[in-house]
Amino acid sequence: MKIQENILIKQYNSFGINVYANLFAKFNSINELGELFELSKKSKFAYPRQTLIIGGGTNILFTKNFDGLVLKNDIKGIKIVKEEKQHIYVKVGAGESWHQFVLYCIKNGWAGVENLSLIPGNVGASPMQNIGAYGVEIKDVFHSLEAYHILDKKLVNFTFNDCEFGYRDSVFKNKHKNEFVITDVVFKLNLIPKYNISYGAIVKELDKMGVKDLSLKVVSQAVINIRNSKLPDPKVIGNAGSFFKNPEISSSQFKVLCSQYPKIVGYSLLNGNIKLAAGWLIEQCGPSIGISWKGFRKGDVGCYNKQALVLVNYDNAKGNELYDLSKEILQSVESKFNVILESEVNII
């Protein structure tokens, strides 16, 4: 185990941005994590300028070289911690691939995460982001997690309430930002499947597949098919999935927008507000009259031609170029709809 200096971290971010980290190391245990923090103090680079913990690197946009310490979380392991009549509790290392964990659950007949198939990234980021897709979020299957407090150098257990989950949000993105390193997560999964196929195009895809009997595997495959039809593979085209969150507005504002734009896409929430489809909003805007952001390309940056929510690096784009494009998109949507979009991606 050692800390490397001035390391290119292009392969560790799904946008494929050519940036360097002053210090870089991987850890696969809590003990190694503590040791790396101590070792970094002996480096010629002043410590701690900045510390960044990464997993799959799928939700990060680097706009410049990282002036600090990058630690890649490679803690692995999947272990059953408790089993009940209808539920099973599974402890998973933060460094495990999220999609591979989903496939492992499906193979073992553990239900609850099949709708979250093919989401890029690692398990440790799933509660931090409260990842979600097709009517399911991490909070629906979350039980608890352990996280290493960087300053206190100790493990802390977080319950469901401790995490304060919100839409693509948790305490680790605001109140406790940069304070903890998530080391493992415990999920509460169903032994008796409760299929959730009402959201999006799942039913249509299942029909297309000729499915007559539901199973975890076929629901997962339907989600995989849908995602593959709309989203680029980061190994082929650099991207971080959806760059923007779906905005939430009041029902009164939605009525006004509906009168102006009858085809606007919105979904009712339990709190009475409306969640708008950010992709639809972006498609209606563009860099100039008659040109949509969807499919737009300027040099090596652009919006994917099948999903306007996805910003892409076609070859050798710089992070600040992608960031500038995102700001242009935000401004155009606000100007046309008076709706403010928020980035889902962590800008570094």
Cβ within 8 Å of residue 54, ≥6 positions away? 12, 13, 60, 70, 71, 72, 73
Q: What's the rounded Cα separation, in Å, for the pair 11 and 299?
A: 21
Cβ within 8 Å of residue 327, ≥6 positions away? none
Given 14, 242, 326, 332, which residue is catalytic? 242
Residues 266 and 281 sit within 8 Å (Cβ to Cβ): no
DSSP 272-303: S-EEE-HHHHHHT--SBTTB-STT-EETTEEE
CA 270 to chain centre: 23
Task: Tokens for 33, please give them.
Answer: 């994590």
Given 14, 40, 168, 332, which residue is catalytic? 168
Reduced DSSP (H G I as helix, E B as strand, rest coil) percent helix, strand, coil of the chain, to 5: 30, 30, 40
Q: What's the rounded Cα separation, in Å, for the pair 18 and 233?
A: 18
Q: Is 242 one of the annotated active-site residues of the chain?
A: yes
Residues 293 and 300 sit within 8 Å (Cβ to Cβ): no
Given 96, 137, 146, 344, which residue is catalytic? 344
Residues 339 and 275 sit within 8 Å (Cβ to Cβ): no
Task: Tokens for 64, please give them.
Answer: 């410049």
Q: Which residues are catalytic?
A: 168, 242, 344
